[in-house]
Structure 1
C-alpha cells in the first residue's frame, strides 16, 4: 500500500498553483499568478470572502438589551417566550411563578421531559449535541461553525459558482459578469449544503438546519437579491439537521439526509410530496452520493452502516465499517468503484462493485470487503505536515483525479485514479495555501474542458481555482472554441 511519502512538496515560501501534464507548478506566494502557467481559469470568478462582506443578524439578547424592562402579563409573557424559545423555556418560566399549582406542575413536566430525553439519548446519541454542534461534527466542511465559507458548488452546465457563508447567505458568482446574486431569507438558518438542479439553468437547492429552500434565480434580472416568492420551501418536522442533498441525474427528484432523522426522504419538489426509502432506517444519515452511471445511490449513516441503493428497484445492500463511521466517500466515473474513508482511520478504502452483483444474495458473486488503497498516516514532508484522518474527498467528473483534505493538516492532496486492471491511487500534487490558511471545502468544476479544475475554499475566505491541465485536451478545446467563434462570426 502506497503512502504520503510519494508526494513532492513545494519549496519554502511557495504555493501550489496548478498541475500541467502531471507536473505540479508552484510559485513564490508574493508573485503567485496561475496565469503564468495557464489561461484556462482567467475568466473564472475572482472571489475573496471577507468579514466585512458577511452580515450577521443581531442576537436576541443583544436586541433585548436596547429596551427597558416593563411589566408584562404572565400569559402574554409565556406567549412571547414560546414564540422565541419554545415549550421547554415556557415550562422553566412557569416554574418560577408565585402560584403553587402552576410552578409545581411546570417542574413536574420538566422532570418527565428530562427522563424522556435520557431515553432518547440512549436510542440516538447524536441528540446529545445541539444543532450547530452536530453539524460541525458530521458535515464535510472543516470547522463549519467558525469559518467564513461553509460550502461551495459549481453549476452542472455553466460556469456559475455558489458560495454559502456563515451569515447564512448564498452568493452566486458567474464567469461572464461581475453581478453577484444574493440568496437570503430568515428561514435559511445554518446552511450546510448546496445542490444545483440538473437540466436547469436557474434552480439551486439550499440545505439548512430545518429544511430545504429551492431558489429560482433569474440571471437576466438586475435584482441582486431575489424575493422569497421565487422559492419553494420543503420542510418536515421530523427531518431535522439536514446534512446532505442530491438530485437525481435528470433532476426529477431530490433526495435528502438529516442527522437526526433515521429516514432518507425522496422529494417530488413541484408537488411538495415526500416518500421514504424503504429500509433506510439508521441512527441518522449524513451523506448522499449519486453514482455517475446513474444506477446507484450511496447513503452514509452517522453510525457504522452505509448502504448502496439500486435506483431501478430501490433495493439496498447494507455495509458496515469496523469502527466509527464513513466520513467521506465518492464514486469513480464509471460507477463501479467506491472510494471512502472513515473518521477513525487514516486510510482510503476502495470497493469494486460489479454491475448488479452487489444486490444478489449469492455470496460467491458479491464482493464482501473493501480494500485499503492508500495510507494517509500523518507525516512531516520537508517541514510540511500532511495527512491524518480525512475531512472530505471528491472526484472530478471524468473520474481521473481524487482530491482529499484532512481534519488536522493544512494541505489538499491530489491523486490520479486508475481503475484498470486494478483500482489504484497514485500521488500527484500537494496543494499548499498561504501562511495559516486551512482548506475548508472543495469541489470540482463540472464543465471544465481542458482537464479538471478543483475549487478550494480556504479559511481566509480566499477561493482558489486549481486547474489540472493536459495540453492535448487544452489544444483540442482551443481549436474547437476557435471553430465555434468563426462559425458564429459567419
Structure 2
C-alpha cells in the first residue's frame, strides 16, 4: 500500500533540525529589469539610422539589425542600406530554415531554450531553479529566480553569489574535494566561483569568479565535475561539442560528435570511468572517459529528459520526453544491436536495456493524480531511494531501489504532497547524510522541504550489495571492449 505523505508533517523534525531552514519569498528576490523594461525608464532620443543599427547589433545581434534596416521606413531613409539588408536577410533565412529543419530545438533561444531543456519544472517562474548539495558537508546551494546563487549552511551567514552577467542560471554543481568551489552554468557561459571559507563576506565580489566560455557554446545547460574534482565538463543545447576544462589553467579539450544535436544532459558516473550525455535529438551516448570513445544509442521519439547513475556506476536510469517510463541501462554489458529492441531479441540482449518502471498517469485513492512524463530524477548515493518529479503531477514519487549484477530494481515506496496549492519544482538528495537518505524538495511557493528516510539495520544488506556490484563493475570494465551500440526504446513491457 502506497502512502501519500504531507509536507507539513512533523515526522523527522529532529533529524533535520541541523539543516538550514529556507523559504525563498518574493521579498528575498530582487528580479532585475530586462532590457525592454529598463528602456521605459529613459526618454527616447533621436538618432540616425546608422547609429541605431549599431546599437541594435550590439544589444540584440546582427540578425535583428538586418531586420530593422529592411523595414520600409528605414529603406526609404537609406535605400542602399535597406537594399543590402533585404538581400542579406533572404540568404540568412535560407540557412536558418535549413538549420531549424535539422535542429528544431534551436527555434527557442535564450531563456526559452533553457526552460525547454531544464530539469526544473516551470523553470521560467520557479522561485528556486537549481539545488546542489555539497558532496562532503551539510551545505546547500540554491539558484533562484533573480539569477543569484544562495549558499546555506547551519550557524553561518547566507552567502549570495551574483553578478550582472550571470543570468539565466541553468545548472549548479559543487566541486568535489573542495570547500567552496562551484560551477554555475548560465546564459553567458560557466562561472567558476572560488570562495574563501574563512571569509565572513556574505556578498563575494566577481574577483572570486572565473568565466569559462567558448564561441557558440551558450547558454550552458549542463555542468558536471569529475569525481576527483580535477576536470569540469560543460555542454550547451546549441552546441554539438562538449568541453572538458582544466579550471586552474583555463584550458579545454573539445569532445565532438556531429550528429544528434546540442547536448542537454551530462552526468559523470561516480566511478569516474563513464559519462552519460544526451542530445536534443533521439541520440544519447555513454562515454568511456579513459580514451573518450562513445557508444551511441537512440530512442524512438523525443529526447532524453533526465538521467542518473547508480552509486556503483554500473547502471544508468533515464526518461524521455514522450514516454512515461523509466529505462534501466546496464552499461557494463554493451551489445551491438542491428534491430529495435521491441522486436524479438534473445533474452541476454533484452537485459541490457529494460523498462524499470511504468509511470502511466493514475489516480490515488484520495483524489490525487500521479505519474505521466518525467521532468527530473534523483538517486541517493546509497542506491536505496529514487525520487521522481513529474511534469503535470503535484506529487513526488519515491521508489525503493537496489542494484544487482542483472540491473536496477525499483519498487514503489511513497508519494510526497505539498501544502495546498504547492507543486514541486526541483528535487535533490543530500550526499553526506549518514543515517539514510535525505530528499530535498523546492516547492512552487519557495519553501524548501527536507524529507529524511531512516534505514533499519536490515538495509545494510543493500549497502553490502552495492559494494559487491561496484567490484563486479570494476572487473567488467577492465575486461570489456567498447563497441558501437544502438538502442531503441520500446513501449510494450
TM-score range for the pair, normalised by the shorter chain length: 0.7 to 0.9
Q: How does 1:469-480 map to 2 (within 5 A)?
A: 469-470=454-455, 472=457
Distance 1:198 1:139 in 2: 23
Residues in 2 aligned to 1:323 and 1:76: alpha-carbon distance in whole angstroms:
47
User: Cα offset for 1:261?
Assistant: 0.5
Write the distance in 1 (CA, Å) between the matches of 2:247 and 2:346.
41
Write out per-residue CA displacement over residues 30-76 of structure 1, whole angstroms, 9 at most, x where no aligned residue: xx434xx4522101000000111111112323332233333324433
1:358 to 318, 322, 334: 334
Q: SS at the partner of 1:277?
A: strand
Which of 140, 161, 172 pairs up with 1:183?
161
Match of 1:358, SS state, is coil
Contact 1:386–1:410 at 8 Å: present in 2 too? yes
- Closer, same or farther: CA 142–72 of 1 in aligned 2, 3 Å: same
Aligned to 2:380: 396
> 2: distance between equivalents of 1:43 and 1:216?
25
Name 2:266's counterpart in structure 1.
288
Aligned to 2:137: 158
Q: Is 2:32 the partner of 1:57?
A: yes
Judging changes above 3 Å, is the alpha-carbon distance between structure 1 residues 174 and 420 closer, same or farther for their aligned structure 2 residues?
A: same
Does structure 2 conserve the Cα–Cα contact (< 8 Å) formed by 1:316 and 1:359? Answer: no
1:444 aligns with 2:422: no
CA RMSD of aligned residues (A): 2.4
Structure 2 matches for 1:367-406, cutoff 5 A?
367=349, 369-382=352-365, 383-406=367-390
Distance 1:364 1:344 in 2: 26
Residues 113, 385 of structure 1: CA spacing in aligned structure 2 closer, same or farther, 3 A cutoff?
A: same
**Residue pair 1:358, 1:366 contacting (<8 A) in 2 also:** no
Matched, 1:8 2:3: yes
Q: SS of the residue aligned with 2:59? A: helix
Residue 110 of structure 2 is matched in structure 1 by 131
Residues 317 and 359 of structure 1 are in contact (CA less than 8 Å); yes or no, is this contact kept in structure 2?
no
Is 1:79 aligned to residue 54 of structure 2? yes
- Kept in 1, the 8 Å contact 2:260–2:282? The answer is no
More divergent stretch after superposition (401-410 vs 325-334): 325-334
Q: Deviations over 1:210-260 (max 9, x none)?
A: 310001122322221111111110011111222111001111111111101
Q: Which runs of 5+ in 1 are unaligned?
A: 1-5, 17-28, 475-490
Q: How far 1:174 moved relative to its partner? A: 0.7
Q: 8 Å contact 1:248–1:254 — kept in the other structure?
A: yes
Gaps of 5+ in 2: 339-344, 460-493
Closer/same/farther in 2, CA of residues 63 and 310 from structure 1, 3 Å limit: closer
Contact 2:185 2:219 in 1 (8 A): no
- Distance in 2 between residues matched to 1:364 and 1:198, nearest whole Å: 41
Residue matched to 1:33: 10
TM-score by length of 2: 0.86
Pairs within 5 Å for 1:261-276: 261-276=239-254
Partner of 2:487: none
SS in 2 for 1:419: strand
Structure 1 counterpart of 2:85, from 93, 106, 118: 106
User: Residues 417 and 224 from structure 1, CA distance in 2 versus in 1: closer, same or farther, beyond 3 angstroms?
Assistant: same
CA distance in 1, matches of 2:96, 2:369: 42
Identify which of 258, 280, 283 aligns with 2:236.
Answer: 258
- Is the contact between residue 195 and residue 204 of structure 1 (CA under 8 Å) also seen in structure 2? yes
Q: Distance in 1 between matches of 2:230 and 2:402?
A: 32
TM-score, normalised by the number of residues in structure 1: 0.86
Aligned pair partner of 1:332 in 302, 310, 315: 310
Is the partner of 1:371 in helix, strand or coil?
A: strand
Contact in 2 for aligned 1:451/1:473 (Cα 8 Å): no
Aligned residues: 447
Secondary structure, in 3 states, of the residue corresponding to 1:199?
A: coil
Distance 1:436 1:80, change over 3 A: same
